[in-house]
Copies of this chain bind each other. A is one copy, B any other.
Amino acid sequence: MLNFSYQNPTRIVFGKDQLAQLTKLIPPGSKVLLTYGGGSIKHNGVYQQVVNALEGFDWQEFSGIEPNPSFETLMRAADLVRREKIDFLLPVGGGSVIDGTKFIAAAAMFAGDAWDILAKGAKISAAIPLGCVLTLPATGTESNGNSVVTRYETQQKLAFSSALVYPQFAILDPTVTFSLPPKQAANGVVDAFVHVMEQYMTYPVNAPVQDRFAEGLLHTLIEEGPKVLNQPDNYDVRANVMWAATMALNGLIGQGVPQDWATHMIGHEITALFGLDHAQTLAIVLPSLLQQQRGPKRDKLLQYGRRVWQLQHQDEERLIDDAINHTRAFFEQMGVPTRLADYGIKADAVDKLVAALQANGMVKLGEHGDINLDVSRQILQRAV
């Protein structure tokens, strides 16, 4: 096991009828900005429940945070926060709304050009506190310090991370997810699955707790994920997927082990250039990356095949092939296609994507830093 330092301060408030807890969770006397996306929370009753819980607080709202939240939109919100002296942010939504609001929290307190937080990794020294209501289990952002923001004018999708933007609390009510469009729910399952794989599918460092936790999350997503599509009103299924998605990226399973994240970095370029959903890009890249990297990932691919997919072939090459095929089939079963062509993207996109990786400095990806532009090109060619 590798050394690590880990703290996760987010309070998770999980279950039915928990939205009313907001009243107690937001610090008394806060001046609150409620942030959300396109308004789906107005149709499923969440908005009204939040408004009820905010009674007695001085609050206002900022809506219109897009999927893959845009730097431009978020800067407008940061200006509002400064102007109105907002001192608590309450994102209500999925990964984009919460990620975006983390950037608002940082940008509103940042002295220089806030773009530097994303483009130059400029360190932030303060952020407006936030707490969130999660409506789409997927990214784990409700309980971590990560945020991904897109600048559309330059087609850049970039991330930042800070302990200062961990939500103070996250309300996870599985019933809120009953009304999710199937496509979004499926994307969430794929996203959480790949988050686990980024922290698990590297090389062994004798860390059985982390391995078994990761495998437990993968098992859960494989067993419960398809039920989200078939039994959308099944509370337990929704609850199990929601909890698995949080645990997939609250940092815990990645402590003391190497991590990959190349699938995410390559996927981000596909979203930035072609507008695909985040999870779609992961479903495209991961199976091809596993094939391409089957050498360096060999020991873990065998463990994954045996423990997660219960494969028992004597032939190890066949076992690895089957493990990768099962992974691809799982994404397809969730209704998320795994080839660029399935989204109408042609082979000539590979050059553009490699150029974008180069432009953003993504030239040494993966747990060994051995995924250079050539290897990324081969991964993308396998994904055509």
* Contact between B1 and A11, CB atoms less than 8 A apart: no
Query: Which residue from chain B places its CB closest to the CB of A246 in the assembled complex?
Result: B209
A5-47 interface mask toward B, CB cutoff 8 Å, 1 = contact, 0 = none? 1111111111111100100000000000000000000000000
* Contact between A244 and B12, CB atoms less than 8 A apart: no
Verify if A219 is at the interface (C-beta below 8 Å from B). Answer: yes
* Contact between B209 and A220, CB atoms less than 8 A apart: yes
B-binding segment of A64-72, A210-218, A317-325? A210-218
* Contact between A4 and B8, CB atoms less than 8 A apart: no
Verify if A119 is at the interface (C-beta below 8 Å from B). Answer: no
- Give the residue of B14, B211, B256 whose beta carbon is less than 8 angstroms from that of A6: B14
Beyond A6-B11, A7-B12, is A209–B243 a contact (Cβ under 8 Å)?
yes
Copies of this chain, tallied across the complex: 2
- Complex Cα spacing A107 to B21, Å: 31
- Complex Cα spacing A21 to B14, Å: 34
Beyond A212-B216, A212-B220, is A206–B240 a contact (Cβ under 8 Å)?
yes
Verify if A262 is at the interface (C-beta below 8 Å from B). Answer: no
Verify if A247 is at the interface (C-beta below 8 Å from B). Answer: yes
* Contact between B215 and A212, CB atoms less than 8 A apart: yes
Could you say which residues of chain B place their CB within 8 Å of the CB of A12? 4-7, 255
Query: Which residue from chain B places its CB closest to the CB of A12 in the assembled complex?
Result: B6
- Complex Cα spacing A216 to B216, Å: 8
Contacting residues of chain A (243-259) with chain B, CB-CB under 8 angstroms: 243-244, 247, 252, 255-256
Contacting residues of chain A (206-237) with chain B, CB-CB under 8 angstroms: 206-209, 211-213, 215-217, 219-220, 223-224, 236
Shortest beta-carbon distance from A174 to chain B in Å: 8
* Contact between B8 and A240, CB atoms less than 8 A apart: no
Verify if A3 is at the interface (C-beta below 8 Å from B). Answer: yes
Verify if A111 is at the interface (C-beta below 8 Å from B). Answer: no
Query: Which residue from chain B places its CB closest to the CB of A224 in the assembled complex?
Result: B208
Name A residues whose Cβ lies closer than 8 Å to a Cβ of B: 1-18, 21, 206-209, 211-213, 215-217, 219-220, 223-224, 236, 239-240, 243-244, 247, 252, 255-256
A-B contact pairs, 28 of them (CB 8 A): A1-B14, A1-B240, A2-B15, A3-B16, A4-B12, A5-B14, A7-B11, A7-B12, A12-B255, A14-B255, A206-B236, A206-B240, A207-B240, A207-B243, A208-B219, A208-B220, A209-B240, A209-B243, A209-B244, A211-B216, A212-B213, A212-B216, A212-B217, A212-B220, A215-B216, A216-B216, A243-B256, A252-B252
